[in-house]
Amino acid sequence: MRHWLIYCFVFSILLGCSSEDAKQDNTYVPIPYQLDIPVLFQNKLIDPIIPIDNQLTVEGVALGKRLFFDNILSVNNTKACVSCHSPQNAFTDSNQFSVGVTNTSGSRNSMPLFNMAWNFDDRYFWDGHALGLEQQALEPVIDAIELGNDSWEPVEAKLNNHPEYPQLFKQAFGTSTITKTLVTKAIAQFERTLISGNSKFDKFSNGEVTLTAQEQNGLSVFMDESKGDCFHCHGNPNNPLWTDNKFHNNGLDATFSDLGLGQVTGNPNDNGKFKSPSLRNLAYTAPYMHDGRFTTLDEVIEHYSTGLQPSSTIDPLMKKVGQGGVNLSTQDKADLKAFLLTLSDPSFINNPAFIQQ
């Protein structure tokens, strides 16, 4: 019996070795990547969505990161995703309108990138026109005012002729033939690892720190239906994403030069609706709103307090539109701002995993 066991053991080792060899010969099997999900998110939120056909791997994430930072994706090798989505700005930039390869600017403010694996509707851009991160990443490369290529073919060719990329794609996806589909898969993998869950408020939720009286009152203003009433669209302590990822008209304009969601759905009821941004990391993401019209948080708060513009699609939650807004006291405005700033996460913008090495 004992002998038999030993034979078994030896045999299994042999088997193990030979299959290892086989792997190296034919297809390298990438290592599954474990998302580092904050405990608070594990407790409060449902699991993030990772497409079945694009599971995260260590090799895929590393490749996506390299591509995100690489000017090779632009027509003249001068810009990359990171040019408009910079780590120190929580992956947006500080311009009202970003400039791409042509040095001309668009009409929308760049968007911060984090916690996107919890965007369960999976709709991206201010107007939600891209479905899925993979789909989203197809666009900037061939957007004339972003990375400026006419089509993906020259980009694929540059990557296929690169001394290192073919090998990296082989390790991540089992083929060294680089296509736009694989490029966007890799980038999406990296983007899903961009998790921000370590702000002062997160630590407060975890019982590690306390809020100041001012921050505490700011939270009350945020949560009080008769005061700020921000939580119906921007999350709450039980929804640490600090957004509903839905589309609303928050009363910026009486008439719309940018139809937002309405342009995408063709439904006039959707005109002037844009995706609620997360209120995390506001300290790093100015200017604010889809067109970057506000340079400070004070201006944003003043908008909700006295600046609301009526229109046919204004959200009913902008309930004091008749009086211009929720008319917060000077003290409440200051406290609300102090609370909002507790949602910023310095460890996110300094995370070495998210910065070019």
Q: Which two tokens stand for residue 184?
A: 């966007």
Where do runs of H (alpha helix) occur along the chain? 2-25, 39-44, 58-68, 81-84, 133-142, 153-160, 165-173, 180-192, 200-205, 213-223, 231-234, 261-265, 282-285, 297-306, 330-341, 346-349
Reply yes or no: is the peptide bond before residue 140 cis, omega within 30 of 0. Answer: no
Q: Establish if 145 lies at the interface with other proteins (CB under 8 A).
A: no
Enumerate residues 202-221 that contact other proteins by CB under 8 A.
220
Task: Choose which of 45, 56, 61, 73 interacts with ligand HEC (CB under 6 A).
Answer: 73
Residue 12 or residue 212: which is nearer to ligand HEC going by CB? 212
Identify residue 22 by its one-letter amino acid code: A
Which neighbouring-strand residues pair with 57? 32
Per partner kind, with CB cut-offs from 5 to 8 A, the member of ligand HEC, other proteins, none near residue 200 is none
- For the chain, how long is the longest CA-to-CA vector? 88
Per partner kind, with CB cut-offs from 5 to 8 A, the member of ligand HEC, other proteins, none near residue 236 is other proteins
Per DSSP, the three-state class of 247 is strand
d(CA 244, CA 119): 8
Q: Establish if 237 lies at the interface with other proteins (CB under 8 A).
A: yes
Q: Establish if 314 lies at the interface with ligand HEC (CB under 6 A).
A: no
Q: Establish if 239 lies at the interface with other proteins (CB under 8 A).
A: yes
d(CA 350, CA 352): 6
Task: Report in angstroms how near the CB of residue 276 gets to other proteins at its nearest.
Answer: 10
Q: Contact 159/179 with Cβ under 8 angstroms?
A: no
Enumerate residues 289-308 that contact other proteins by CB under 8 A.
none
Task: Choose which of 152, 165, 304, 354 interacts with ligand HEC (CB under 6 A).
Answer: 304
Footprint of ligand HEC (CB under 6 A) = 73, 79, 81, 83-85, 98, 100, 106, 108, 110-111, 113, 116, 124-127, 133, 136-137, 140-141, 146-147, 187, 191, 228-230, 232-234, 248, 250, 252, 274, 276-277, 279, 282, 285, 288-290, 300-301, 304, 315, 317-318, 336
